[in-house]
A and B are shown apart, each in its own frame.
Chain A
Amino acid sequence: MRLELTKVRQSFGEQDLFVIDQLQLISGSAVHLHGPNGAGKSTLMKIMAGLQKPTAGQVKRIADADESDLQQAVIYLHQNPYLFDTNVRKNVEYGLRLQGRKDPKKVDRVLQWAGLDHLQQRQAHLLSGGERQRLALARALVLDPALILLDEPTSNLDAGSLERIEQMLKDLHQRGTGFLLSCHQDNALTKLCNQHWRLADGSLSGVD
């Protein structure tokens, strides 16, 4: 799957936040997006995920020949992920239910992978910061997305949680899922990335 942005412009009132002439993100990529506060990193990620329409320009998802619609999913994860007001397991099952699918074995596997299997009946609101991030990743992973966009996933994480998320992202990448993460500082997660984009002063640099 290829995500293509063409002549994308995002403005607020008269002022342009950013203008991007051409941008491609291919499933399997590992990209670190950085830049100053207010540069529009979250907005760009939401545009890429289809959650927000740009002021102008086009965003296209181009599927490979052997891909189904489901494998073209681009999932955006908030800085502080929103967890549905139910238990951990039902949060993971959410996306599958929307598609009318039930796959308890896969849900079990994903919960185990995220280290949340012993917490599956716990209300999601009671989880710690690191557990919340892991649940958000597990909830996305169960859908086998082509790309995951992580908005500041390292904020509020302790060293142990960061290590765990790092391992999860490594696993994801090995399975062929691409990811783009925005982070202010370099850390273990940004070291996993093979591209580093900088969004500043209204333009994106570092793109191949």
Chain B
Amino acid sequence: MNELWHTFSAAITQLASGDPMLWGIVGVSFSVSASALFIALLPALSVGFVLAYFRFPSRWALISLLNSLLAVPTVVVGLVLYMMLSRSGPLGDLNLLFTRPAMIIGQILLCFPLLVAMSLSAFQAADHRVLETAKTLGASPWQAFVTLLFEVRFALLAALVTAFGRIIAEVGSAMMVGGNILHHTRNITTAIALETGKGEFVQGVALGIVLLTLALVLNVSLGWMQSHSRVLRHGT
């Protein structure tokens, strides 16, 4: 018990000291995940919108495929991407393996189906009169789409928060295509895996505290958004 407490207090001390290596690892995690989310967001929302509002052959097959991709383990995404980016792979000439862009691509592949699935539900749950009202008041198709995004903004923010939570906490893909290189591709989860393997728990616990704090902040934000949405709608 004393050992655990000693490790925990050392981890807090390390965080508070502003250790550049530790916070550099946190920075890699945030920049990679934020970039992936930023790149995936608009295409994913557009696909969700098309799937919700347009009827075309194979629409259900596409939705089933996207739903299946939600359950793909992160290491499988990492494995496929590794094979694509390795020297003998079809994208080997790009020299992306063990770089941040490779990690970003992996995280895009992980968050894209989730963003599509959650935005699809948000659009399907939206009132069908939103687009008609926007159009009849003179909105162009793009303006009507933006109006719809605004009307379902809380559900979309929830999708964003959930997707960010999923990719910042994933380890499989980041480890395989990032290579866990210090100051370059080592992020929170790959660093925790490495330090734990070496028996150096202090840094692992410190990074775990960052992840847990982030999870808490994301969930509190999500809860606030949902309750704020209810207050706006019902006034209570």
Closest beta carbon of chain B to A125's beta carbon, Å: 5
Given contacts A51-B132, A81-B133, A84-B151, contact A123 B235 (CB under 8 A): yes
B233 interface hit (Cβ, 8 Å)? yes
Given A51-B132, A82-B130; A98-B235 close (CB under 8 Å): no
Residues of B in contact with A, size category: 10 to 19
> Could you tell me the distance between the alpha carbons of A204 and B170 in the complex, rounded to whole angstroms?
63
Least Cβ distance of A25 to chain B in Å?
Answer: 16
Does B135 have its Cβ within 8 Å of any Cβ on chain A? Answer: yes
Kindly list chain B residues whose C-beta atoms are within 8 Å of the C-beta of A94. 137
Tell me if A132 counts as interface (CB < 8 A to partner B): no
Is A98 touching B138 in the complex (CB atoms < 8 A)?
yes
Taking a contact as CB atoms under 8 Å apart, the answer to whether A82 and B133 are in contact is yes
Q: If A84-B147, A84-B151, A98-B138 touch, does A78 touch B235 (CB 8 Å cutoff)?
A: no
Q: Does B200 contact A (CB under 8 A)?
A: no
List residues of chain B with CB within 8 A of the CB of A51.
132, 135-136
A98 and B143 in contact (CB under 8 A), knowing A123-B232, A123-B235, A125-B233?
yes
Of residues 48 through 100 on chain A, the ones whose CB sits less than 8 Å from some CB of chain B are: 49-51, 73-78, 80-82, 84-85, 94-95, 98-99
* Contact between A78 and B133, CB atoms less than 8 A apart: yes
- Distance in angstroms from B155 CB to nearest chain A CB is 11
Complex Cα–Cα for A135 and B150 (A):
19
Residue among B127, B130, B136, B143 with the most chain A CB within 10 A?
A: B136
Residue B129 CB within 8 A of the other chain? yes
Q: Does B139 contact A (CB under 8 A)?
A: yes
Query: In the complex, which residues of chain A have a beta carbon less than 8 angstroms from the beta carbon of B234?
Result: 125
Judging by beta carbons under 8 Å apart, are B133 and A98 in contact?
A: no
- B232 and A140 contact, CB distance less than 8 A: no
Please classify the interface of chain A as helix (H, G, I), strand (E, B), loop, or mixed, using the class held by over half of its residues. mixed
Say yes or no: B137 contacts A143, CB within 8 Å. yes
A77 to B133, CA, bound (A): 8
Q: Check A9 for interface membership: any CB of B closer than 8 A.
A: no
Q: Is A46 an interface residue (CB 8 A)?
A: yes
Decide yes or no whether A126 CB sits under 8 A from chain B. Answer: yes
Q: Are A125 and B143 in contact (CB under 8 A)?
A: no
* Complex Cα–Cα for A73 and B129 (A): 18
Instruction: Tell whether A134 is near chain B: CB-to-CB under 8 Å.
Output: no
Interchain nearest-CB distance for A141 vs B (Å):
11
Contact yes or no, A99 B138, CB < 8 A: yes
Within B120-170, which residues are at the interface with A (CB < 8 Å)?
127, 129-130, 132-133, 135-140, 143, 147, 150-151
Pick the residue among A75, A125, A126 that contacts B136 (CB under 8 A). A75
Contacting B137 at CB < 8 Å: which of A80, A123, A126, A139? A139
Within 8 A of B (CB), among A119-168: 123, 125-126, 139-140, 143
Most buried by A among B132, B133, B135, B147: B133
Q: Report the Cα distance A95→B130, complex, angstroms.
A: 13
Choose among B129, B135, B140, B143 the residue that contacts A78 (Cβ–Cβ < 8 A).
B129
Residue of A nearest to B130 (CB): A82
Q: Decide: B150 and A98 in contact? CB cutoff 8 A.
A: no
Report chain B residues within 8 Å CB of A125: 232-235
Determine the residue in chain B with the shortest Cβ distance to A95. Answer: B137
Taking CB as reference atom, which chain A residue is nearest B147? A84
Using Cβ atoms and an 8 Å threshold, which residues of chain B touch A49?
Answer: 136
For B138, the chain A residues whose CB sits under 8 A away are 73, 95, 98-99, 143
* 13 residue pairs A–B, Cβ–Cβ below 8 Å: A51-B132, A51-B135, A78-B129, A81-B129, A82-B129, A82-B133, A85-B150, A85-B151, A85-B232, A123-B235, A125-B233, A125-B234, A143-B138
User: A residues bordering B, Cβ < 8 Å?
Assistant: 46, 49-51, 73-78, 80-82, 84-85, 94-95, 98-99, 123, 125-126, 139-140, 143
Chain B positions within 8 Å of A, measured between CB atoms, are 127, 129-130, 132-133, 135-140, 143, 147, 150-151, 232-235
Which 6 pairs from chain A and chain B are nearest by CB? A82-B129, A95-B137, A82-B133, A76-B136, A126-B235, A75-B136
Using A74-B136, A82-B133 as known contacts, list a sample of 7 further A-B pairs with CB atoms less than 8 Å apart, ordered by residue number in A. A75-B137, A77-B136, A81-B133, A82-B132, A84-B133, A84-B150, A98-B139
